[in-house]
Amino acid sequence: MEDITKENIANWFKDLQDSICNTLEELDGKSKFLEDKWEHPEGGGGRSRVIKNGSLIEKGGVNFSAVSGPTPDKILQALNLPQADFFATGVSIVLHPENPWVPIIHMNIRYFEMSNGVWWFGGGIDLTPHYVIKEKAHSFHQYLKAACDKHDSSFYPKFKKWADDYFFVKHRNETRGVGGVFFDRLTNTEHKSKEDHWAFVKEIGQTFIPAYEDAVAELRNREWNKADKDWQKIRRGRYVEFNLVHDKGTKFGLDTNGRTESILMSLPPEANWEYDYQPINDLQKKTLYLLKKDIDWI
């Protein structure tokens, strides 16, 4: 049986970062990742890898981190935890495409433990199309359901609902995209062990590449015009709003003195905020109509 230590978990995440970066470079076919190694002031550090101006990816990042130190009071209060040191490690990915027909994709999988014995896993993966295409949303959710069902048939409906509720831009009353799965604070229960949760988290990590390859297939070569690019930038603006206003991962990183450049890697290279923008065609109207919670994409 695998020894599930924080060191082994961090090493697996590093290997996943390597594997995903290698495959994305092949998939892009033009650009390569630039690596920036950094150290956390209180302990640990990470490897930020950014790719830009590619044939597929206009800007993207695949980040690994393993940091430690005293848990900030703000985090302790928010999570109702006693004072203890923390260790946090994970991989975070956001890819912004060049072609407006290709969706934005995000994944984060992480592990957190404290010196008092508290630990949990968390993560999620979701898709944010600029134009919602039902068939692509269906296929993406099929990948996630298959990954979840290997471990527990209750996971997909539960974590899909969690994603719908989490990836929601409240002030716009719309979801960030077509959702995916989201989970947090998975720890020992009567029915699930640390081994069970770790196996599930690895499954989600390994699902990223096939799900993304399917999401971009056919779309990456579809022709687009200035109106499509303008719409893409409007939708990127919504993405920025969620990440800066609602995203707990962004807040956690900043509250724990994380590296700002790595935390804000998720933001697109360009985004627009046009006053009172109104959809100019039926596909834009359809996309806004489908940015709702609780749609059964399967």
Q: Answer with the residue of higher pLDDT: 181 or 73.
A: 181
pLDDT surpassing 80 at residue 228: yes
Q: Where residue 253 sits, what CATH number does that domain have?
A: 3.40.1500.10
When pLDDT is averaged across residues 32-59 and rounded to a whole number, the result is 95
Q: How confident is the model at residue 74 (pLDDT cuts 50, 70, 90)?
A: confident
pLDDT (0 to 100) of residue 1: 54
Q: Is residue 298 part of a domain?
A: no
Q: Is residue 25 part of a domain?
A: yes
- Annotated catalytic, 40? no
Q: Is residue 60 part of a domain?
A: yes
Checking 110-117 for CB contacts under 8 A at 24+ apart, the result is: 111/6, 111/9, 111/10, 111/13, 111/201, 112/86, 112/87, 112/88, 113/6, 113/86, 113/87, 113/88, 114/71, 114/81, 114/84, 114/85, 114/86, 114/87, 115/84, 115/85, 115/86, 116/82, 116/84
Least confidently predicted of 82-91, 157-166, 201-210, 228-237:
82-91
When pLDDT is averaged across residues 8-31 and rounded to a whole number, the result is 98
| Domain that includes residue 121, residue range | 6-290
CA–CA distance, 4 with 200 (Å, rounded to integer): 13
pLDDT surpassing 80 at residue 131: yes
What letter does residue 293 receive in the DSSP assignment?
A: T
- Domain tally for the chain? 1
Q: Answer with the residue of higher pLDDT: 77 or 19.
A: 19
Q: Is residue 222 part of a domain?
A: yes
pLDDT in tens, 15-26: 999 999 999 999
Q: Is residue 1 part of a domain?
A: no
Q: Is residue 140 part of a domain?
A: yes
Q: Is residue 297 part of a domain?
A: no
pLDDT (0 to 100) of residue 35: 96
pLDDT in tens, 268-279: 999 999 999 999
For 249-282, letters b (16+ CB in 10 Å) and e give bbbbbeebebbeebbebbbbeebeeeeeeeeeee
Q: How confident is the model at residue 227 (pLDDT cuts 50, 70, 90)?
A: very high
Which residues have CB under 8 Å from 180's CB, separation 6+?
124, 125, 126, 127, 140, 141, 144, 160, 163, 167
Q: Is residue 296 part of a domain?
A: no
CA–CA distance, 146 with 137 (Å, rounded to integer): 14
**Which of the following is catalytic: 40, 96, 106, 197?**
106
